[in-house]
Each structure stands twice: as C-alpha cells, then as structure tokens.
Amino acid sequence: MDSVLPVSPPWVLFPLVWFIVMAAFAAGSRAIARKRTSQERQTQVARYSNKLTSATATGLFVLIGFGITMSWNTFTAGQSAVDAQFVAADELIVASLDLENVQDKNRLLASVANYLDTTTEEDFTFFAQGNVFPAPSVDSFRELQQAASAAIEDPGTGQKIQISLIEDSVTNLAENRGELLSVSNRVLPPVMMALIMISTLFVAVFMGASLSDEERPWLLFGWVCVLTLALAVMIWISHPFTAPLGIDISSLSELADVARGFIEEPATGS
C-alpha cells in the first residue's frame, strides 16, 4: 500500500522563491547604497548598516529558533501519535490471534487492516490539505470497534485475557487517534509567521547595505541562503503531514499487510 506522504508544491518551492525574494531585497539595497552616495557616505552607510544587521539578525534568529521549537513539538507529537497507533494496533492483532471463533478473528483482523490502510492512504492526505474533521478513517474505525465488540460478546472459553487485551487496545487506538486529529489542527500563529517573514526582509535590506563597499559580496548570498534554509525547516516541520520533512507513516502501512497475512481462509469440506 502507498505510505508516502503527499508533497505540497508551495512548501517544496518555498526555499527557492524566498531565496530569490530576499536576494532581490538585499541586492536592491546594496545597489541603492552604492549609486546614490559618495564613497565616504557609502562607507558610513555600510558601517551603520552592519551594526543594524547584527542587532536585527540576532532578534530574527531568536524568533526563528522559537518558531522551530514550536514546529518541532508539533512534529514530534504527530510522530508519537503515529507510533502509539502502531503499538495499539499491533497489540490488537496479537490479541486477536488467540480468539477461538475464526470468523470473529478474521473480521477483527480485516477491520484493523482496513483502518490502517484508510489512515495512511486517506487521513494524511486529508490533514495535508488543512482539514481536520471528520477524518476519512471515521467509518473504518467504527467498523473496527464493531468487530471488537462482536469478539468480546462471543469470546469462547478461556478467552478473558484476550478480551481484556482487545478492550485495552481499542481504547488506546481511540485515544491516539484523537491525538493525531489534535496535531493536525496545530499551526504556527499567523502573526508570528508574518513577523518572522517581515523581519527577514529587513535583515536582507540592512545586510545588502552593509556590503555596499564590497566589490564582490559573495557573503551576502551566503547569509540569504542560511536564512532561507532556517525558514524552510521551520515551515516544513510545522506541517508534519506533508513531505519533504513529514512524519514516517510506513509502519502503519506495513502493519496492515501483517494483519491481512493472519486472516485464515474458510475451511472447505472434504
């Protein structure tokens, strides 16, 4: 099954687009400083702009660092929710293997596989598009709960441990599914994003002017590249359901195949 997170073109193209924008601001600032001032004035502008660059860049990197911390918390919460779903589903599969009623066991295993497939193939695409509720897996999860209830109601003899494990696993699966929905609703505050983006443009302007007395300001483009990459990382990890830095969901897809592998074929008459 396909377990690759969807790639959203705007996020993939962001580093290139923002690099061009910042480089344009920096180059324009440098060009203005070089053309419209005398050599003495140009040196003064470069010296003063260099001081402003140091001050504003420090504040900017503090903001970016704070944004990356917030984004990383969202990313790790999403990955933790996926890992917890894997553990709960795996426990449910193991518990179902010892059910005496083959029909109940097959139904439960099939519902687990269907739920995991729907989660990896539809839910994450749904979340990547900015949607939260209702997630596409709501119906498949309801079917899983119904299959678990049927197995609990007709446990057979000596099945108390399996029934307890099934109940606990379904409960854990529901809780972690809720956590996944919660993570999909977390975004960086728009005001903070706007503040950071505007700050990068100010830094680019000061940076360009600070190098106005340099003939070949290669350092300028190095600074722009570093800022662009820092912003890209912050934005990418703040959207954990979208590649290129999306969370790893392959384990859920692989576990669905494992569940299907344990389904027994109906016995045929001799």
Query: What does the pLDDT read at residue 11?
Result: 63
Query: Any idea which of 14-28, 36-50, 107-121, 203-217 has the lowest mean pLDDT?
Result: 36-50
Q: Examine the pLDDT at 119 and tell me if it is beyond 70.
A: yes
Summarize the confidence of residues 20-36 as an average pLDDT.
82
Let me know: does 235 contact 64? Beta carbons within 8 Å: no
Establish if 3 belongs to a structural domain.
no
Query: What does the pLDDT read at residue 114?
Result: 92
Which of helix, strand or coil describes residue 253? helix
Let me know: does 82 contact 247? Beta carbons within 8 Å: yes
Establish if 50 belongs to a structural domain.
yes
Q: Examine the pLDDT at 147 and tell me if it is beyond 80.
A: yes
DSSP 109-131: HHHHHHHHHHIIIIIHHHHHTT-
Q: Examine the pLDDT at 125 and tell me if it is beyond 70.
A: yes
Establish if 211 belongs to a structural domain.
yes
> What does the mean pLDDT of the chain come to?
80
Token pair of 270 as six digits = 């001799």
Establish if 268 belongs to a structural domain.
no
Establish if 189 belongs to a structural domain.
yes
Summarize the confidence of residues 223-240 as an average pLDDT.
83
Summarize the confidence of residues 17-42 as an average pLDDT.
80
Establish if 269 belongs to a structural domain.
no
Domain extent, residue 244, equals 9-261
Q: Which residues of 98-129 are buried (b: 16+ CB within 10 A; e: fewer)?
A: ebeeeebbbbbbbbbbbbbbbbbbebbbbbbe
Q: Examine the pLDDT at 94 and tell me if it is beyond 50.
A: yes
Contacts of 140 (CB under 8 A, 6+ apart): 111, 114, 115, 117, 118, 119
Other Cβ atoms closer than 10 A to 87: 15
Q: pLDDT digit string (tens) for 162-218?
A: 778 888 888 888 888 888 888 877 777 888 888 888 888 888 888 888 877 776 777
Query: Any idea which of 40-49, 136-145, 156-165, 242-251 has the lowest mean pLDDT?
Result: 156-165
Summarize the confidence of residues 66-87 as an average pLDDT.
88
Establish if 270 belongs to a structural domain.
no
Name the pLDDT band for 270 (thresholds 50, 70, 90). very low
Summarize the confidence of residues 86-115 as an average pLDDT.
87
Summarize the confidence of residues 226-255 as an average pLDDT.
81
Contacts of 181 (CB under 8 A, 6+ apart): 132, 133, 135
Q: Examine the pLDDT at 4 and tell me if it is beyond 50.
A: no
222/213 Cα distance (integer angstroms): 17
Task: Count how many domains the chain has.
Answer: 1
Establish if 267 belongs to a structural domain.
no
